[in-house]
Each structure stands twice: as C-alpha cells, then as structure tokens.
Amino acid sequence: MPEFLNPTDIGNRAAQHCGAEMMDPIQGFNEVSKTARNISFVYGKLRRAELEQNVWTFATRKAALRPVDTNTLLLAPALWVSTTTYFVGSVVADSVGTLWISDIPSNLNNQPGLAFSAWEPYFGPLTAALYDSSQAYFAGELVYTAAGDGTYNTYLSLLTGNAVHPGLPNQWSVSTTYFQNDVVQSFPAWASGTTYAAGATVTYTDGNTYSSLIAGNVGNAPTANIGTKWALTPTLTLASQTVPMTTPLTNLATSPVNEWARATTYGLGSFVMFNGSEYVSIVANNTGNLPNASGSTFWKVLSGGTLYMSLIDLNGGNNPTSAPAAWSNLTTYSSGQQVYSPFTGLIYTSATNSNLGNDPSTDSGTNWTNTNVLCPWTSVFTQGGGNSQWMQVGGASFPTGVGLSELNIVYPAGSGPLSQSWTKNVFHIPAGFLREAPQSPKAGSSSALGAPGGLIYNDWEFENQYIVSMTSTPILFRFVADIQDVTRMKSLFCEGLAASIGLAVCEPLTNSTAKLAGISRIYKDKISQAKLQNAIEAGAEEPPVDDMIACRI
C-alpha cells in the first residue's frame, strides 16, 4: 500500500531505513516486539517536534479567541469511555489530554485518534463566554447560557457574524433544504375546540405563530385577540440559498428573541430566551422575575412545539409531522401503518394486521413491505434543540456533552479581566496549540512598486497558556496545531518524520551506527523538500512595516 495512512506506516518506513523488521500493520504499536516498543516511544515526541519546526500548511488552523472576563469559564471535557454513546458535538479528552469532537451521532466504541471518521481533532477555544445578545460571534466561538441554578447550556458558533440566539429553535419551512442532524421545530395548528393553557403555542391560517397569554383559552381566534388572549410569536426560519443566485443570503443582524435581562422591563406578550428555553411574559411591567421560577405568575414557557432532527442530507419539502415513527417491538401495527427502521433508515409499510414483534429490517416481506424511501425526520433523538447556526456541545439537554469549570486564573502581571479597562487583556491559547503562525501571511502580496503593505506589529506577549494584549476585541488567532491524522499530512513530511524516527531508533534496533549517516542524508533531503513544497503553498510572508520606513513614507 503506497500511501501513508496511519502512524504504523510512518513507523514501518523508519524501520526500513534502519534495516529492522517491520511491525504488523494490524497490531501496529501494540505489537509485542522491539521495533514497536522503540518506535512507539519516540513517535509522538518527534511528530510534535517536527510540527513545531515549521509553519506547515496542513497543520495551520485559526481560532477566534475572546478576552477573558469575570464570567469566562474553562472547557472541562470528560475522558473518553468506550461504553459511552456520544453525539454530534460531544467533546472528549483522550488518555494524553488531546481533545476531540464527535462528527457522528450514536458514536459508540470509536476510539479518538484511531477512528478519524467518527472524531475530529478539536482546535477551538478552551474558554466559553457568557452569551451576550449584543454581540455577533465568529465561527468556532464558544458561549454558554445559565439559569442561575447551576445548570447551563454550551454552544459552538458555526458561522461568522452570528447574531442569532443559540437556543432559539429554527422553524421548519417547505422552501428550506436541511441536512443530516439539523433540528427544526413545528407547532400544531390552532383548533377552535381546544382549550389552551398560558404559553401554549400554535400556528394559524395566516401563516403566523401565536402564544396563549391566558389559561382556559378556548374558541378565541388568535388574530382577533392579539394582546389580550394571544401574542404574535417571533420565530426564526432560516432559509436556503436559491439558484440561480440573484440575491445572496445574508446573516440576520439581530436575533428575533434575545436572552432575558434582569434590568429590562418586559411588557405583556414579550418573549425572551432563558437557558435554552423560550418564555412569554403574561403580565405587564415585568422586571427582575426569573422566567424559570417555579409556579411563576410572570412568565410561561412556550409549549406545544415538537423538535425534529433530519435523518438525511438534502432534505427538502418533507413535512416533519408526516414522518413515521421508529419501529417498536412493543407496538402492534395494523395493515397499512408505516414505520421506519433506525438500522436501515428506510420506511416500511405493514402488510398485515396484528403485526407485533416483527422487525421490518430483517423481515422477508411477509409482514412488512419495504418502500425503499429514506425516512426524512425523527422526533426521538438525544441532542439539543436550537438552530443550524449553532451546535450545542454541552448542557442539561445534551448528555455526554462537554462540561465547564471555573477558570481560576492568576492574571499575568499588568493584566486583568476585560471589564478592568486600565489593564491589558488575556486570551487563553486554543486547544492543540504548538506555535504561532503568521497572522496575515498574504498582506502586501500586491503592494505597488514595492511599497510596504501596512502590516503593523501586534503587541501580543505569550505567557504560560495566555496571550497578553491591549486588544479588547476577539482575536482571530492563526497557529500550528498538533495534527495527529496521518492522512492529512503531506507525503514528504511523512518521509522526513520517518527518517527522523529512524535516526532515533536505528542504534537501539540494530546495535549499530553504520546506517545513521545515510538516514541523516535522507532526513535532510526529505524535510528540505517538504519545507520547499510548503513554502510554495504558503507564499511569501511580508514582515510588519519598519518604524523608519513608515516615518519616511
């Protein structure tokens, strides 16, 4: 097999340089042999050392870092456990402390670092800021909402300029195309004979959504009783880009519903978000009353909506309320009833009455007819709500999600929290950080007549795990990350790393130094070629403008 696919391939290339017996490709570093024992000991150390030597394009990442303030919390991922089921967005730590984020639902017994299709290295921020409705967030930023009772929800922004509240549900639309794991909400249609409680929410014939302001609300049409019995509910409905593209989609400048604020006075029919749930004010002059207080006579949580998760990509025009439920071995089905199988994802139609205990995914056609149609939605899933502009990664509604802990920071001398305006600010370095990369590598690439491009020096000081700076806004920090996935490394880099390993293990494996000079020449050749290839891809880097040149210009 010609490609470098895993650490064993690099290790075996090192063994070849030494003239030593190669490791079994299946057992790899777990093989009981002198070769495996020596190579496994140095592999991770030399891999990181080679990554730190240069700004490799394949290892370069960027993270949005927000200055630490008094409400900033630290990410506290749990250790990965083989018997725990993880979900999209679960962040865990492996045995050496490397962080990973799950790419798939129902992620069971896939070891991070070995199952790269199930886990992605996490190179994002290690701190989470308290969500602020006045801010727009960068892609990759972490925020949290808190209820004051020790519970919280943690979210990761999926796009830049993100001003939408992370917990606000996205309403299903027939014109929007959804992708696997997208979550939408749907409310039932208003019915004249139904009695609605305060907070009960419905859709009406005018296409709008309304929430009841009173208990015992029956027979009152929403449009005829706005402000007294019903309130028009602000909703979020994210659209898809249409083609041909005449008008590009733009981010919402503000969120339809914002997080509750203690100092704000809310009127009757006002809506707020509070720790991932939406509430409606049922009184006027509503100030300082916690929405989630038990038995509240000021707020009611919106009820009646059902959350659905897309089971397929390119999911368009499929009403989630029409999707069949998952098959259950405890349910008796009649002829014509439909279910979907979580094992195959397909929809099946019952061919008989009294159909009990017959698994449609293994049925030969006696009890079930396979429609060969994928089920588009399910209302039974373990994942948070919210919308597709955010990914929930932790909280009460997201089991096996990442935890948060107090930062317990001792600020470097001369710095302090963001709210302390007379000191410098600190930014926690991101996960997997190895070294800084040029922050504006292409600046000045088209400067006229050799004039400087205007790139200025930054005032960053690296102290322990922090960047100290007078900057008070988020930093888009470019850095070299601790890449472990061999398939993402360049082949010339892998050759250079293999030769570096060969230099370290040749004498212990062969009890001879005869091959060291040859391996050294191979190392210098391959790593030089790798750096040359990397330099071509990265392009020229312009230094900041010299003060003398700036003065003369």
pLDDT at 446: 54
CA distances from 88 to 118, 181, 375, 432 (A): 9, 8, 19, 20
- DSSP annotation of 1 reads -
Q: What was the pLDDT predicted at 543? A: 64
Query: If pLDDT is split at 50, 70 and 90, which confidence band does 449 have?
Result: low
Residue 443 has pLDDT above 90, yes or no: no
Q: How confident is the model at residue 444 (pLDDT cuts 50, 70, 90)?
A: low
Whether the link from the prior residue into 474 is cis, omega within 30° of 0, is no
Residue 46 has pLDDT above 70, yes or no: yes
Name the least confident of 37-46, 313-322, 533-542: 533-542
Residue whose C-alpha is closest to residue 110's, from 130, 82, 131, 90: 82
Look at residue 365 and tell me whether its pLDDT is greater than 70.
Answer: yes
Q: 485 pairs with which residues across the strands?
A: none
Longest dimension (CA), the chain: 94
Q: How confident is the model at residue 129 (pLDDT cuts 50, 70, 90)?
A: very high
CATH topology of domain 324-375: Seminal Fluid Protein  PDC-109 (Domain B) (2.10.10)
- Distance (Å) of CA 241 to CA 119, 175, 207, 248: 29, 10, 22, 7
Distance from the first to the final alpha carbon of the chain = 58
Per-residue model confidence (pLDDT) at position 553:
52
**8 A C-beta contact, residue 22 and residue 16:** yes
pLDDT in tens, 474-521: 999 999 999 999 999 999 999 999 999 999 999 999 999 999 999 999
pLDDT higher than threshold 80 for residue 539: no
Q: Are 349 and 336 in contact (CB under 8 A)?
A: yes
Note the pLDDT of residue 312.
Answer: 96
* pTM of the entire predicted model: 0.90
| Amino acid, single-letter form, for residue 58 | F
Residue 462 banded pLDDT, cuts 50, 70, 90? very high
* Range from 294-298, 341-345, 456-460 carrying the lowest mean pLDDT: 456-460
Instruction: Identify the residue with better confidence: 199 or 243.
Output: 199
Task: Give me the helices (H) in 130-224, please.
Answer: none
What Å distances lie between residue 47 and 56, 93, 433, 510, CA to CA?
A: 12, 19, 14, 22
Q: What angle do CA 119, 123, 129 make, to 5 degrees?
A: 115
Question: Residue 355 and residue 365: Cα distance in Å, rounded?
Answer: 12
Q: Give one word for 161, left, alpha or beta, with left for phi > 0 and alpha for psi -120 to 50.
A: left
- The letter for the amino acid at 79 is L
Query: CA of 409: how far to CAs of 76, 92, 412, 461, 466, in Å?
Result: 15, 22, 9, 17, 10
Write the CA distances from 73 to 62, 156, 273, 403, 412, integer angstroms.
21, 14, 21, 10, 18
| Token duo for residue 22 | 């190669």
Within 10 A of 72 (CB to CB), how many other CB atoms are there?
23
